[in-house]
Amino acid sequence: MNVLFIVADDLRPALGSYGDPVVRSPNIDQLASRSVVFQNAFAQQAVCAPSRVSFLTGRRPDTTRLYDFNSYWRAHAGNYSTLPQYFQENGYITLSVGKVFHPGVSSNHNDDYPYSWTTPAFHPSSEKYENTKVCQGKDGELHANLICPVDVSEMPEGTLPDIQSTEEAIRLLNIVKESKSKFFLAVGYHKPHIPFRYPQEFLKLYPWENITLAPDPDVPKGLPSVAYNPWMDIRHREDVAALNISFPYGPIPEDFQRQIRQSYFASVSYVDTLVGRLLSALDDMELSHNTIVVFTADHGWSLGEHGEWAKYSNFDVATRVPLMFYVPGMTVPTSHLGERVFPFIDPFTQDSSPVAQGKSGEIVELVSLFPTLAELAGLKIPPVCPQPSFHIPLCAEGQSLLRYFPSIHGGQENNSKGAKDSDPPVAFSQYPRPGDTPDWNSDLPLLKDIKVMGYSIRTADYRCTLWLGFNPSNFTVNLNDVHGGELYFTASDPSQDHNKYRSDMHGFLAKKVCSVWEHRIWGSRPLL
């Protein structure tokens, strides 16, 4: 089996296949209808570099020791093998297009080449204009805005980064098909990451009268101040700065909130058409019958819920992601050569509401991607990491998800050899803060400035978060230094608006969270 690994940037499950009533995403929905779809998948930290390094190494942020953008795990934590590296070592050509690793220090300024990739990673040339003054303002001048629908023909180079990435990915598919080599092709889309620079025609899919505010746009009264993120990257954009919004809680004027939501949805549909063209090319090259397709995102994005925007928190809207696996012969019967599995669907003329082939409601984590893909490809599953595992190059802190894959022959879940029935499925996330109150660096503190770490557990029944004292010089956690707590019950409060931490089971849940983290995650790591 070949592997096509597709990751979007800042994409919450705002997709038709996840029940979103507004977003038009017919091509990703079509992929979902041929895939196992995980309805409750969570990132381990809701920010780009830490999340990507986490799921590409199969290690959690406390093991990669990356909470910001400013260290390279091989030098700073341990020489951990990566998912593409493991495939390369097993005879695959591994290729990276677009934003797969976060570029810069966190991937050694070269996307971890040559460890992870057979050839240097491709980055679109038009990416350098992403944060420049290319957005047409009402004053007729060009600005560096948050809201930036554009005429693509008027953009520098006459294109956009994700369009270039799709073209390059299709070109590479042609090359590997001709070479008859096994391939692992990773394609990273920049959208719907801000700024919302996308082809302006996608606005037509989202008439203004259909755009509403978030159902819970106010900051919850019981939210501890340490948990709030003040969305600084939003505030720095010229159109937002012109609104003169108060710090840290805002709020953003309601009309502008609706503009943000409208452009986010339009950006998702833009990415959907590119994914559709990429999957259609897989059909054109007769590769759909022997290529595993994975679609996911690095983390979610708040769209005004809890008075928050962007990522940078432990809420579901920031940590929950789409996750689906198309596996020929497993999620659908094996197709025949020439048979189209992914015909392109134009969202402007067609829509689809397919029922997913197999939906799993289990709580799962992105850190499980590494062992899952290894098992799907028939490779040896990396061993489970001991605690600590800084000295071990190859191991995984997640578990293979194949035990949740329904069989196409009987609809029963597989008995994967990676299954481990002793522990109920939970997802662990975390987020650092520089202090107890929102500050200019609360969203993304440097390692040296981290004073508090929010450790969060998401189960089928609740999300519980403890904000604990953290020492960045030796990476220790002080369980007795509690800066705040959050407790939300899924059945009665699915949007996580009513914090019950102090009113219900305060001491019990705090002890339970700490004991689970100690047993399942920390092991013998230093604790105070």
DSSP state of 178: H
Q: What tokens does 159 get? A: 């294109």
Cα-based torsion angle of the residue sequence 63, 65, 68, 73 in order, rounded to the nearest 10 degrees: -90
Active-site residue, 148 included: no
Say which of 76, 102, 143, 498 is annotated catalytic: 102
CA proximity to 41, closest of 522, 429, 436, 507: 429
Q: Is 515 helix (H, G, I), strand (E, B) or coil?
A: helix
Say which of 48, 148, 385, 395 is annotated catalytic: 48
**CA separation, residue 175 to residues 86, 99, 189, 367 (Å):** 22, 21, 21, 31
Residue type present at position 16: G
Active-site residue, 48 included: yes
Sheet containing 452-458, strands listed edge to edge, beginning at the edge strand earlier in sequence: 427-433, 452-458, 462-471, 476-489
Q: What tokens does 105 get? A: 């220090």
Please name the helix (run of DSSP H) or strand (run of DSSP E) that holds residue 62, with its range, or none.
Answer: helix 61-64
Do the beta carbons of residue 478 and residue 471 sit within 8 Å?
yes
CA–CA distance, 61 with 349 (Å, rounded to integer): 43
CA–CA distance, 73 with 76 (Å, rounded to integer): 5
**CA separation, residue 395 to residues 413, 417, 517 (Å):** 25, 16, 19
Q: What tokens does 339 get? A: 């048979």
Residues known to be catalytic: 48, 102
